[in-house]
Amino acid sequence: MKLVFATHNLNKLHEVQLLMPKNVTILSLNDIGCTEEIAETAKTLEGNAQIKADHVTKNYGMPCFADDTGLLVDALNGAPGVYSARYAGEQKNSDDNMNKLLEALITTDNRSAYFKTVIALNLNNQSIFFKGKVEGSISKVKHGDGGFGYDPIFVPNDYDQTFAQLSIAIKNKISHRGKALQKLINYLKTLN
C-alpha cells in the first residue's frame, strides 16, 4: 500500500518510516510533486490535519495522512498550542520558537506542558482521526541536538532528559506522535 504523509519535514518523515510496517510505502509531499506549503488555517489540531490530508486527496487523488502537533504549556493557558510551529513568527524557526517560550516562562516555576498530535487519515473515501499525547515539562535551557521543533526543551514525565537527548527509538515509543502513529499502524494492519 502506498500512503502519502503530508509533510515536507524530512525529520518527521524519517521517524514515521521507521515505524511503518514493511508493506506500507510512505511518500512525502515532495515525492508526489506537491511543493506548495499547505495553509494551516484551522483553529484546532484536528482541523489543520484534515486540511492537509484533504488537500492531497483532492489535488493528487492519493490516500493520505497528515498530522498536526501542538505544545500546550499550562502556565501559558495552553499556548503555543495550534500555533506551535509559528509561535515566534511565520518563518517557523525552531530556535526562535524555543527562545520565545523560554522567555515567556522565565518568571514562573510552573513548567508543566504536554504535546498532542492528531493524525487525519483519508483512505477508502473516509476520514479517520488518531490522537496521541505525552505529558512533561519545559526545561530552563536547551539540551541535546537530536529531534526537531521543541525537542531540546521538552522533558517527558519519568525521564530526566529532553526529547533531543533521548534515542529516536525511545522517543518513538513514548512520544505523542509515536502514540498516534501506533494507533494509525494498528488500524492499517486490520486492512490486510
Catalytic site positions: 68
Specify whether the backbone of 81 is left (phi greater than 0), alpha (psi in -120 to 50) or beta.
left
Report the distance separating Cα 168 and Cα 122, nearest Å: 27
Q: What residue spans of 20-84 are helical by DSSP H?
A: 45-60
Distance of CA 67 to the CA centre of its chain: 6
Q: Which of 123, 124, 129, 136 is nearest to 166 (CA)?
A: 136
Report the distance separating Cα 36 and Cα 145, nearest Å: 28
